Structure 1
């Protein structure tokens, strides 16, 4: 996990757990019992993302 302060926690339609932190997005890997930071670098930055 890229930060311990979780701002949002969501389960998607496929049952995957996602955590939004101050430093970005993380996906829960249940087989490994850990969160993996998602690199959003390929996406353009925008001040309008929430």
Structure 2
């Protein structure tokens, strides 16, 4: 594999890891009901979770 393909693979891997961490932390902070429900009320994530989102 060329260097370009390795860079693309690394970028995809890092992006998926960041998305997974952000989803997990948001779920943990706001709860399952808000994450799975409608977004009628706007809630902001704070702390380390807010940094990933």
TM-score, normalized by length of structure 2?
A: 0.20
Greater helix fraction, Structure 1 or Structure 2: 2
Structure number with higher strand proportion: 1
